[in-house]
Amino acid sequence: MWGKNKKYFWLAAALGFLAIPLIVKSNYIISTLIVIGLYAILVQGLGILMGYAGQVSFGHAAFFGLGAYAVAILTTHYSWPTIPALGAAVLLPGMVAAVIGRPTLKLQELYLALATLGFGILVHIAFTEGGEMTGGPSGLSGIPYLSVGGLVFDSDVKFFYLVWILLFLLLAGMNNLVRSRVGRALRAISESEYAAENAGIDTVGLKLQSFVFSALLAGLAGGLYAFYITFISPSPFSFHASVQFVLMAVVGGLGTLTGPLLGAALVVALGEVLRWAVPLVIPGAGGEYQIIFFGLILVILMVLQPGGLGALGKLLGTPAKRLPGKGADTRLLESQGG
């Protein structure tokens, strides 16, 4: 019964969520929800890469930044219209991922993580040392608002609807992707790359495609971020941001579709709550206390819910999108059977 009505439940939940700006008039809350939505778009791609293809990346802040800087440079230095600039923000990280992905994804586990970490650091240095083109440490200002035809997204409410409708459409598309033959093949790779290769799956090609796909989503999130903030500097695209994105994916729950959204919401909301609450508990406390409490809460959460927040969907009868507990051989046969 629940299975038949599940899609109606999620549709009603999405429509209810989109009604928030009609009830909540706080620009701070709407702005926080926009940031959560932007991060959730990025982490959805990272979730495919880590949760389904079994690859770890500590360089996605670089793709996020490439998208943002593509929009900033093309609109402020070259006066591009906003839609073509957003298209470039999506394509540029994807092209870079395609170039670096093939040699990088041959590495395994820790070495892959270090390679993506090094890439992220190099790109961040390029943003900082880019001179007039990137604005250096001071960044670039004067980015116009995104406009589509006569519609200009110049308010928090308009941007809220843009970001969250895009995110819901993305979730619907990814729900079909993970249920497809490609999705099953990706899960087979995450379980046993060696066994997947022996079953005839193009493991290198699929890992590269998932890496490029995750970079495209990071570029989209970065481009939208630049249009929303209308100012960028290198600091939001540092190594710290890459770690934060991985944290959102893990805390949310790898191998689930709702996990990245829940992880982004928790990490952003927890940061905002601690920024307000810690000085009340410890007067004069600096940012290091917030980091300590942040870490403690996340450790406790992972101990109590090691599968991540996405596993809580089981309480609603919506199991995580993992393969059932079968042997690797069975999974591979399923993936080949389409």
Q: Which DSSP state fits 60?
A: H
pLDDT of residue 51: 82
Q: Rounded to the nearest 10 degrees, how much is the dihedral formed by the CA atoms of 273, 277, 283, 284?
A: 0
How far is 161 from 163, CA to CA, in rounded Å? 6
Q: How far apart are the first and last CA of the chain?
A: 27
Identify the CA nearest to 46 among candidates 93, 83, 11. Answer: 93
pLDDT at 2: 56
Tell how far CA 233 is from the center of its chain.
20
pTM of the predicted structure, to 2 decimals:
0.86
CA separation for the pair 127, 276 (Å, rounded): 31
Q: Residue 327: its pLDDT value, please?
A: 42
Show Cβ contacts of residue 23 under 8 Å, excluding neighbours closer than 6 positions.
none
Domain segments of the chain: what residues? 16-237
Q: What is the pLDDT of residue 286?
A: 66
* pLDDT on residue 83: 95
Partners of residue 295 on adjacent β-strands: none
SS3 state at 42:
helix
Contact predicate 180/54, CB 8 Å: no
How far apart CA 300 and CA 312 sit, in angstroms, is 16
Q: Is the dihedral of CA 194, 198, 199, 203 positive or negative?
A: positive
Alpha helices in the chain (DSSP H): 2-18, 20-23, 27-47, 60-76, 82-104, 109-128, 156-179, 181-191, 193-198, 203-229, 239-252, 258-281, 287-304, 328-337
Q: Is 37 helix (H, G, I), strand (E, B) or coil?
A: helix
The pLDDT, as a whole number, for residue 206 is 86
pLDDT tens over the chain, length 338 residues = 555 677 788 788 888 888 888 888 889 999 999 999 999 999 999 888 888 887 888 889 999 999 999 999 999 999 999 999 999 999 999 999 999 887 877 776 667 778 888 889 999 999 999 888 999 999 999 999 999 888 999 999 999 999 999 999 999 898 888 888 888 888 888 777 778 878 888 888 888 889 999 999 999 999 999 999 999 999 999 888 888 898 888 888 887 888 888 889 988 988 888 888 877 777 776 667 777 777 777 777 777 766 667 666 555 444 444 444 444 444 443 444 43
